Structure 1
Amino acid sequence: MALLAQQAIARSGLTPTYSAAAASTTVLCGDRSFLHVKNTNGSSMTVTITATATVDGQPCSDLIVTVPATTGDKMIGPITNKLFASAADGVSASITYSSTTSVTVASLTI
């Protein structure tokens, strides 16, 4: 899984760089970390962020977001450590996409 480079939104503005979505990626977690997904495909698709947290020994549900077809545009987050940080490194979240055709993504932080 490739780690998406996190881009910082500044007061002066940010023109984000988008990457083609891969079947699975990782992003850095944080209280100010977000994922921006754009879908220009003719079909809707889903983004799944794997939850790693538990409450009273019960696993939390993954975050599943549907991105509409054609002009779909979703900001997802915050992607917090508390809910999504990988047990392996404690700082990244695992993300999968139901489709990658005509889907671009950017990892952002404020």
Structure 2
Amino acid sequence: MATVSTQNLALDGAAPVYSAASPGGDRFTPSRNTFLHVVNASASPVTATLTTPGNVDGLAIPERGVTVPAGANRMVPLPPGTYRSADGLADVAWSATTSVTFAVLHAV
């Protein structure tokens, strides 16, 4: 599982750097005003599944699957209370990784 750095979006604009989705999943630091931008350049839909390690009233929070259609992209908010694990990182698993890239972006 690869750990990816969060990129700050500057007020005068940004040119984000995208990482290839790793077959074993990826990790990053979730925070307020942080988004996962997934770009699917493949010919098939792909699902990004975000691990939700917490509980509410003793009940596990269901994992969130975000489907990105073929040739499309999605921006996914990352509230830390939902996705942060005990080590402070969040995990995403991919249903496929060919032609899938992503960036973790933080709006300042």
- TM category (shorter chain) comes to over 0.9
Q: What's 1:27 paired with?
A: 28
TM-score by length of 2: 0.94
Give the alignment partner of residue 100 of structure 1, picking from 94, 97, 101: 97
TM-score, structure 1 normalization: 0.92
Q: Residues 27-75 of structure 1, C-alpha deviation per residue, up to 9 Å, x if partnerless?
A: 1111111110000111001000000111110000111100001x21100
Q: Structure 2: which 5+ residue stretches go unaligned? A: none
Cα distance in 2 between the residues matched to 1:83 and 1:25: 17
- Per-residue CA deviation, residues 75-110 of structure 1 (Å, 9 max, x unaligned), is 011x122111112x1x21011000000001111101
1:84 paired residue number: 83
SS of 1:41's equivalent in the other structure is: coil
Who is 1:7 aligned against?
Answer: 7
How far did 1:3 drift? 1.1
Count of residue pairs brought into register by the alignment = 106
RMSD (Å), alpha carbons: 0.8
Structure 2 CA distance for aligned equivalents of residues 19 and 98 of structure 1: 16
Structure 1, residues 6-28: CA drift from partner, whole Å, max 9, x if none?
11001110010111111200011
Which amino acid is the alignment partner of residue 66 of structure 1?
T
- Unaligned stretches of 5+ in structure 1? none
SS in 1 for 2:22: coil
SS in 1 for 2:82: helix
In structure 1, what is the Cα distance between the partners aligned to 2:67 and 2:44? 11
User: Could you tell me how far apart the structure 1 residues matched to 2:100 and 2:37 are?
Assistant: 11
Give me the identity figure in percent.
38
